[in-house]
Structure 1
Amino acid sequence: MLLFLALGLLVHLVFFVSIFDIYFTSPLVHGMTPQFTPLPPPAKRLVLFVADGLRADSLFALDEAGNSRAPFLRNVIIHEGSWGVSHTRVPTESRPGHVALIAGFYEDVSAVAKGWKENPVEFDSLFNESKYTWSWGSPDILPMFAKGAGGNHVYTHSYDAEREDFGAHDAAKLDTWVFENVKDFFQSARGNQSLFSKVNEDKIVFFLHLLGIDTNGHAHRPSSREYKDNIKKVDDGVKEIVSLFNQFYGNDGKTAFVFTSDHGMTEWGSHGAGHPSETLTPLVAWGAGIKYPQKASAQQFDDGFSKEWRLGNWKRQDVNQADIAPLMASLIGVPFPLNSVGTLPVDYLNSTDLFRAESMFTNAVQILEQFKVKMTQRKEATLPFLFTPFKPLSDSQQLDILRKARSFIKQEKFAEAISLCVELIGLALKGLTYYHTYDRFFLGVTVAVGFVGWTSYVLLLIIKSHSSLTRGTCEDGKKPGRLLPCSFAAVGVFMVFFLLIQACPWTYYLYCLLPVPIWYAVLRESQVIQDLVASLVTFPLSRLAGCLSVFALGIEVLVLSLFYRYMLTAGLIAFAGWPFLTQLWTRAKVASLSWIFFSLLLAVFPLMPVVGREPDISLVAVAGLLVLLLALVPVISANKRESTLLKQERLIHLLQMLSTVLSVHVVRSTHSSLLRKQGLPLPNQIVSWATLASSLAVPLLSSTALLQRLSSILLSLMSTYLLLSTGYEALFPVVLSCLMFTWIHMEQETMQQCGVSCKQKLASLQFSYNTDIDQLRQLCLDDIRRAFFLVFFLVVAFFGTGNIASINSFDLASVYCFLTVFSPFMMGALMIWKILIPFVLVMCAFEAVQLTTQLSSKSLFLIVLVISDIMALHFFFLVKDYGSWLDIGTSISHYVIVMSMTIFLVLLNGLAQLLTTTKLQLYGKPKTHLT
């Protein structure tokens, strides 16, 4: 079993990693020639303000009194510069947002997971191309633009990470720190000749990263007074900095200012997905080289809210976020970032038509350079007879368009030249996508073949080892000949040579070679396949069709539940009718009524809102009280059996109950302290981490009696879960656990109904690694139902209180009992553990079901694996690379979620066995329980 688990884990890890090679590879290429406009730029210096987490509507909209929250920037829009909305891409996180703004390309998602301060890949940026860049702000953002910059010309000034505290009294101090340090910098420059000469050079950049708005949004929501007041403070700070620059440089008119944001924020204080509140960010530009406000009579923007901004009289010019990088580069005359895919928004430029046309021509050549390098790399890595070039942009077409554009510029037909360059940029970007996804179909087919092979192998293994469908001739019959292994060996050798010739990455060998041994193992079981076909022929056709239809319907419900959470409600309501479809209603009315009640109660949770809810600590307290009541069940059960609990176990049980009470107190205390803006109390933090650290160890000290061990696991994990809860979701594991306890009772009744003798009562069953082989039995159709129940409950555990397909359904307030200082990976790990706790509870209940139904854990686990893999295969074919970025991201995330669930299933199956069967002794010798 351990060998099979290891093999299954390896196979699923390969399938899981494949999605990153297929969809999440870095778009960067190297070896391009820098391109810049050969004309004097309009600005000598650029000041970039990035208000982290600022929504477009929060800046542009008027308050209840009809006044602007940012009067200075609104005045700029009306009297001094140009404005619009910058459209970001998914994921709407700080790192990819800043990379798009400053480097001009959309970073792949894997870079977000690999690091923030360190770069997984080196990339060119506006800062690198500048003569000097000075930056102030967050230690999470600034270093990634300094690392790898050629020469010592990018200077960073960041505050300590501890300042990024969501529980701080006033997060706006982060922005105040930036503004004050910029003032101090220029004050010192006046008395430092070396620094003074540097800040008076051409082609320099000043970057002010303002994190206060994002921090206040996470802590208090964008509708809060703190968030809105922070916008006003940022506006005041920007006004002061603009005045400072004008004074320092003597109003020379050579400073360009750009104000924007990396991403927006939802109403519930999160970001990461594709909601308009996250993807629509403000852009305001003014100063040297920027057009003055342009009157507009009737602008139509179908966004449903811009009318409320009352800016319809001034021309709004929307851009993609990556377009801002070439705009800034053209303003100060530096080469466009080498990997930029942005299109220069020429309507922002207040310059001659010649400069605009030349800048757009430079933009086109710069993107075309990337296309050429990408095409060359792909051509060199592909066999000549297999290479298919991007036909819409051949070498002759490239030269023809460039020649025409240059001719138009010479003839002073600047509008025609710009239009032709925009057309060339569009073709080059399509070509970049074409070559970037060149291997996608090949890899997809390879992984799908391996996936189907693995699922087929597991099915055959179930039939061979755990059913009575075969005649047992697989092992006793004649051995397979040499033709089959030789044929597969030849296929493997061919694949190796094919990949070697094309210099493919080593991961390609995994994806292409893994199906070979898998399908060899499948075809070796030809006798099992023959027996299966023979058995199905004799099986009643109507019953077979009915079973397959029900199974297919169940799979589709599971698949649809990832798109529509209410499908889980429909499934749970259907589950409630299970006792009526069997004779359970007559045999066990109490258990049946409990099953119906808890199924319907659990069905309410998928209908509840996953986001936008306000904290309700009273519900957390109610959940804690219910957990304490459940903890009394094993004690009452033990008393009824006139059994005595060991002193150690009584002590452990009491301490777990006290831990639950303490967790509720910590949650209430922390919430109250944060409301008073007094931060996270240190004792609360210590208790929280201690509870988390002990949550998996304490249950191992309790009795291995089924009810007592499950109760101990629930108590221990719920203490942690309560600390990670802010509202009604704290009740979810309680209701889920009640349903799991009922499920265990129902399955034992089902076995008695089927005529299988249960030697022991439920209260006297013991978890143990050493299962009596005589108790194990062959699989039956009812076991498929049990396996389906498990997968369904696992999906409910994932999606019962949230939609983990969307990053923005996570509420950072959930981790405030543990930490409030921003730490993306630590906070993410705590969120994941919160998601996994219901998962662990279901898996432990599944261990009990296997014990009560006298079925080997391997056989039932294999059926679960097949169901999960069929779901994963569904989502693998549903992954798409077209449509909106939200659609693409959602389709990929569904596959990742199901694959993660399958991998976690393999790992947590072992964890559940450990939690249910392992017994630790603090002192003395283990004693035998009286049963």
Structure 2
Amino acid sequence: RLLTNMKTWQLIIFGVTVHLIFFYSIFDIYFTTPLVHGMTPYVSNPNPPAKRLVLFVTDGLRADKFFEPLPNGKPTAPYLRSIIENRGVWGVSHTRVPTESRPGHVAIIAGFYEDVSAVAKGWKENPVEFDSVFNESSYTWSWGSPDILPMFAKGASGDHVFMDYYPSENEDFAAADSSKLDTWVFDKVKKFLMEAEKDQALMKKLSKDKVVFFLHLLGLDTNGHSHKPFSLEYLNNIATVDDGIQEVVGLLEEFYHHDNRTAYIVTADHGMTDWGSHGAGHPSETLTPLVAWGAGIRHPRGAEHNTQTYEDGFAEKWKLDKLQRSDVQQADMSPLMAALLGIPYPVNSVGALPLEILDIPLQDQTEAMFSNAQQILAQFKVKMELKKKTTLSQTFRPFLELTEDKQVLHVRKIKNLIKDGLFEDAIKESQQLMALAFRGLGYYQNYDRFLLGLSVTAGFVGWIFYILTLILRDHVGLSYKRTFFDELNSPFLLSKKFIQGLAVTVAVVIILLLLVQSLPWTYFMYCLVPVLLWKLVLESWPIYVTAAQRLWDSSRSPVIGTTLFCLLILEAVVAGFFYREIFSIGFVALGVWPLLAYRTRSRNQYVWLVTCLLLSMFPLLPVVGRQSNYNVVLLAGILAFIVGCVIDRRYLMNVKGAKIRCAQLTVLLAAIYNLWSVSSSIRRKEGLPVLNQILSWSILVTSSLFPLLSPTQVLPRLFSIVFAFFPVYLLLSLLQEGLFIICFCVVLFSWIQMEKEVHIAKEKNLLTADFSSSLSGERHLVAEDIRRSVFYIFFILVAFYSTGNIASINSFEPAAVYCFLTVFSPFVMGGLLMLKNILPLVLVACSFQTVQILTHIPTRALFLIVMIMSDIMALNFFFLVRDYGSWLEIGTSISHYVIVMCMNIFLMVLFGVSHLLTSVQIRLSKS
């Protein structure tokens, strides 16, 4: 047994530790924070055109829904449309993945793209300190969501960033209309200005220069999630925002007596897909509107002034093709706001000042751009110095395009051009310097990538061979004990003492080199783990000699062919991560496998064929862009209830099993009713009733206990596990997921039955030597066991990907958790969605545990085979990780590696969970 085998437990602990190290390496290689500290701030503009700036962030507003006219030809936002046509600038702000609220606001206000590890560490709180426009302002007043405002107040130095936000309970996705979140902000601003007229101290602060007002408007995001961006609620919310902005602008102009020193910017942190989600890289998520007007911002100009060529046709669709369009990267808005106010650029900003938006003298433009370039160059210098300190001087490789001498030459040239009045040439030279600094930042950001990648690769290969050594030694019968004479006759380079001495020498050299360079402690792990693993492998080299001799002597051995075939299948599975249709082909191949591989026919084989063909359709269905259909989910629940009712009583083994089935079917009925009740309430826009919410959480808790109460016999326990998980899965489903799980469970049960039939049939015809027991009383591995492990890997991945992919996992879809909560809570919602992804994996693990019991395979052996296969896939994805191309491609490649590594670590946990669910029983009474 896995849980009672001490050696296996030691191996699991060792394996989890090694894989956690490999997993964490991805953060040092690809997710390192871009932030550095110690830079000198550079004032953006010595002659700022604006005394104050008003930033409106319309959370979740798509560019097309904002710019395109309504079917009747009227604009969705009449006031802002008039601004675009008569007073200001318009364009598209291009966001980066992940398109979520936190990284979007950080890019707008702080000017840098937050790394994924920081996003994962905190939503409201700041895992790292960073500079921002708010921090550099004299005073900032902000109103809006409790999830956004605190992150900028906490990071600010001094006490000059003020915030006022509504309770988090107001963010209810089941509300009839969430535009009230925006009207709350507008009402608060109006009340604030009224109070300021009576408060002399506040009036004095408001009269200062470099003041920022930040209005975070969450209504569109919440309405988009709840009612979708093409809904009447979403479009009406745009009109509400437009009216509110018009009123606030009017009040501010009156408050400041129309001094024409106020700049206004309207934008969005991210967009939203047609199906009401965001987080991935669809254009509807990455294209957001930008409207700017007021002090320091140019007036509308004709399209002939466009400095870029736009071939997307958006301007024509939006009836704005006659006006100049000014697109920006999202991080560019931070230096834009800084230049308008004359404050220092945020020191961590990587935005480039969009000059074509400004209406300031050419000399001021030149000074602002030169300061922007110096601010980026300052980050480059700090990164270069930090890398110098942690690298041996003899091995340091500087960024040759921007060495210290070239930095001085560039800066001197720009200053001379400004001195000679050649402002346009100075601007071009500043932009060139900035481009070089950006490339240099990327160079030093990825400086250690080759070393770390080489170490992790060596570790992966070493671990695979180490596990292969254990399999050959313990489960194939190839143990080889060297004698004293073997030590004398073997070459010195292959002796155990030499291998140990070499490993110690290499480890000492690595430690000294890393210590001298003062590199992080994690680097020691990445470099020393491969040394340990390869020491263990090389010490067992005689086992590989014996294995090679056995394979050479047994030319008809099916092991080689099966292994090569399984490697081919694994590579196809890797391709399935990118092309889900491959999983459909895999299901078809699985369906016909028993008909081609075995002569005997059984009813179970035809059930297997039909359900595999049904499952082959699911990977072909869209995983994003779907509309929720609770009728399909309810149909799946009713079908599952019918299946549960017609289960033959003899499969339940005893009266207790029958009672457990009745209880679970009752819970399933409760889940079906609860889903119908909640969906009806949401459709009527009445929100989530409290009783339904309590019932949902009760089903979640009670369902998990049933397997531990049921009999431990194979079939009763498996039925109990399935009907324990299905009600919870049903409550988290939106469309065809429930039908998929029903077909998937049938396939798993058919797989179990067929493996039992195959084992029994072959056992009658196999030679005793092939199934001879080892010293521990367990049989050795055969070629069929490799195939079973491949089936397990395939089922694990199709359970994860048949109803989803990277885009669907990244996309935030709150409708899936409406039965449990509707008020925004990112970590609770994320936990529930993760549970939904994990439940099918647990079903596969329990089925695999059953196959192992029925076919008498040593659990440890299967565990080792599956681990090797998972690591082969992980190594594939490690090489496929890319740091070029679109941000969606970069994020997807990293996500694939992280998913496989998590699966590898989770695999070890699954073996323990499946053992618990299939073997442990809680006895409530003696009966």
TM-score calculated relative to the size of structure 2: 0.95
1:775 Cα deviation (Å)? 6.9
Shift of 1:232: 0.8
Contact 2:179 2:219 in 1 (8 A): yes
Is the contact between residue 634 and residue 708 of structure 1 (CA under 8 Å) also seen in structure 2? no
For residues 478 and 716 of structure 1, the distance between their equivalents in structure 2, rounded to whole angstroms, comes to 58
Specify the code of the residue in structure 2 equivalent to 1:222: P
Give the Cα separation in 1 of the matches to 2:103 and 2:748. Answer: 42
Change (3 A) 1:334 1:662: same
2:15 is aligned, of 8, 25, 32, to: 8
Match of 2:622? 609
Q: CA deviation at 1:40?
A: 1.9
The answer as to 2:744 corresponding to 1:736 is: yes
What's the CA shift for 1:296? 1.3
Q: Aligned to 1:419, which of 414, 418, 428? A: 428
- Is 2:528 the counterpart of 1:521? no
Shift of 1:808: 4.2
Residue 480 of structure 2 contacts residue 542 of structure 2 at CA under 8 Å; is this kept in 1? no
Alpha-carbon distance, 1:539 to partner: 3.8
Secondary structure of the structure 2 residue equivalent to 1:587: coil
| Matched-pair contact (CA < 8 Å) for 1:634–1:707 | no
Q: Give the structure 2 partner of residue 763 of structure 1.
A: none
Letter in structure 1 aligned against 2:801: F
Correspondence for 2:883? 881
Separation (CA, whole Å) in 2 of partners of 1:253 and 1:167: 42
The code of the aligned residue for 1:600 comes to L
**CA 1:50–1:474: 2 relative to 1, 3 Å:** farther
1:118 corresponds in structure 2 to 125
Shift of residue 203 of structure 1? 0.4
Instruction: Return the offset for 1:408.
Output: 1.6
For 1:243, which of 226, 250, 265 is the aligned residue?
250
For structure 1, list consecutive stretches of 5 or more residues without a partner in the other structure. 759-770
Residue 814 (structure 1) aligns with = 816
Deviation at 1:568, TM superposition (A): 0.1
2:437 is aligned with 1:435: no
Aligned equivalents of 1:477, 1:871: Cα separation in 2: 41
> Where does residue 369 of structure 1 map in the other structure?
378
Are 2:737 and 1:720 aligned?
no
SS in 1 for 2:248: helix
The 3 A distance-change label for structure 1 pair 78 and 575 is: same
Secondary structure class of the residue paired with 2:442: helix
Contact 1:787–1:864 at 8 Å: present in 2 too?
Answer: yes
Does structure 2 retain, via aligned residues, the 8 Å contact 1:751–1:757? no
Structure 2 portions without partners, runs of 5+: 1-7, 488-494, 767-772
Q: What TM-score do you get using the length of structure 1 for normalisation?
A: 0.95
Q: CA deviation at 1:58?
A: 1.1
1:797 corresponds, among 775, 778, 799, to 799
Q: Which amino acid in 2 is paired with 1:582?
A: A
What amino acid does structure 1 have at the position aligned with 2:920? T
1:654-665 aligned within 5 A = 654-665=662-673
Where 2:129 maps in the other structure, the secondary structure is coil
* 1:503 matched residue in structure 2: 518
Who is 1:868 aligned against?
Answer: 870
Identify the residue that residue 319 of structure 1 maps to in structure 2.
328
Partner SS for 2:763:
coil
Verify the 8 A CA contact 2:558 2:783 in the aligned structure 1.
Answer: no
Residue number in structure 2 paired with 1:127 = 134
Question: Structure 1 residue 653 and structure 2 residue 632: aligned?
Answer: no
Quote the offset at 1:690 in angstroms: 1.5
String of CA shifts for 1:338-371, please: whole Å, max 9, x gaps: 0111000011111100111110011011111111
- Go from structure 1 to structure 2 and tell me whether the alpha carbon gap of 1:547 and 1:702 turns closer, same or farther (over 3 Å shift): closer
1:836 is the counterpart of 2:838: yes
Q: Where does residue 141 of structure 1 map in the other structure?
A: 148
8 Å Cα contact 1:270/1:808 also seen in 2: no
Looking at structure 2, the residues matched to 333 and 533 of structure 1 have their Cα atoms a distance apart, in angstroms, of 74
Q: Which residue of 2 aligns with 1:228?
A: 235
Rate the CA distance shift 1:644–1:275 in 2: closer, same or farther, 3 A: closer
Q: Which residue of 2 aligns with 1:28?
A: 35
Q: Distance in 2 between matches of 1:545 and 1:467?
A: 14
Pick aligned residue for 2:270 from 252, 259, 263: 263
CA distance, structure 2, for counterparts of residue 152 and residue 515 of structure 1: 50
Specify the alignment match of 2:455 in structure 1. 446
Shift of 1:547: 3.6
User: Quick check: 2:636–2:742 contact (8 Å CA) kept in 1?
Assistant: yes
**Separation in structure 2 between the aligned mates of residue 475 and residue 788 of structure 1, nearest angstrom:** 38
Contact 2:139 2:212 in 1 (8 A): yes
Distance 1:263 1:276 in 2: 10
Correspondence for 2:3: none
Structure 1 residues 546 and 144 mapped into 2: Cα distance closer, same or farther (>3 Å)? Answer: same
Q: CA deviation at 1:474?
A: 6.2
Contact map agreement 2:472 2:479 (CA 8 A) in 1: no
Do the aligned partners of residues 704 and 874 (structure 1) sit closer, same or farther apart at CA in structure 2, a change above 3 Å counting? Answer: same
Q: Do the aligned partners of residues 633 and 534 (structure 1) sit closer, same or farther apart at CA in structure 2, a change above 3 Å counting?
A: farther
Q: Distance in 2 between matches of 1:475 and 1:723?
A: 63
| Aligned 8 A contact 1:803 1:809 in 2 | no
For the Cα contact (< 8 Å) 1:794–1:839, is it kept in 2?
Answer: yes
- Is residue 2:548 matched to residue 1:533? yes
Seen in structure 2, the aligned counterparts of structure 1 residues 805 and 504 have a Cα distance that, compared at 3 Å, is farther
Q: Pairwise mapping of residues 463-612 of structure 1 onto structure 2 (< 5 A)?
A: 463-468=472-477, 470=478, 472-473=480-481, 481-540=496-555, 546-583=561-598, 586-612=599-625
Measured after TM superposition, the shift of residue 855 of structure 1 is 0.8
Could you tell me whether the CA contact under 8 Å between 2:45 and 2:343 is conserved in 1? no
In structure 1, C-alpha distance between the alignment counterparts of 2:277 and 2:837, rounded to whole Å: 17
Kindly state the Cα deviation for residue 286 of structure 1 after the two structures are TM-superposed.
Answer: 0.2
* 1:273 positional shift: 1.3
SS at 1:179 equivalent: helix
Aligned length: 905
Task: Letter of the 1:256 partner, please give it.
Answer: A
User: Residue 664 of structure 2 contacts residue 703 of structure 2 at CA under 8 Å; is this kept in 1?
Assistant: no
Change (3 A) 1:714 1:79: same
**Separation of aligned partners in 1, 2:162 and 2:235:** 31
**CA apart distance, 1:534:** 1.3
- 8 A Cα contact 1:805 1:893, kept in partner: no
Q: Give the distance between the partners of 2:305 and 2:426, measured in 1 at CA.
A: 28
Shift of 1:482: 2.3
Give the secondary-structure state (helix, strand or coil) at the position aligned to 1:359. helix
- The 3 A distance-change label for structure 1 pair 800 and 653 is same
Tell me the residue number matched to 2:790: 788
Structure 1 residue 303: Cα displacement: 2.2
Query: What percent identity do the matched residue pairs reach?
Result: 51
Task: Write the letter of the residue equivalent to 2:899.
Answer: I
- Separation in structure 1 between the aligned mates of residue 778 and residue 191 of structure 2, nearest angstrom: 77
The letter of the residue matching 1:158 is Y
**Partner SS, residue 317 of structure 1:** coil
Does the Cα contact within 8 Å between 2:36 and 2:383 map onto a contact in 1?
yes
2:5 corresponding residue in structure 1: none
* Contact 2:45/2:339 (8 A) holds in 1: no
C-alpha change, 1:83 and 1:472, in structure 2 (3 Å) is same
In the other structure, the counterpart of 1:709 is 717
Offset at residue 636 of structure 1 (A): 2.3
CA distance in 2, matches of 1:757, 1:864: 27
2:322 maps to a residue whose letter is: N
In the superposition, relative to structure 1, how do residues 154 and 398 fare at CA in structure 2: closer, same or farther (>3 Å)?
Answer: same
Where in structure 2 are the equivalents of 1:378-393 lying within 5 Å?
378-393=387-402
RMSD: 1.9
Contact 2:623-2:808 at 8 Å conserved across structures: no
Q: Which range is displaced more, 212-221 or 797-806?
A: 797-806
For 1:574-596, what per-residue CA distance to the aligned partner results, in whole angstroms no more than 9, with x for missing partners?
A: 1111112222xx43420110110
1:161 and 1:756 mapped to 2: Cα distance?
67
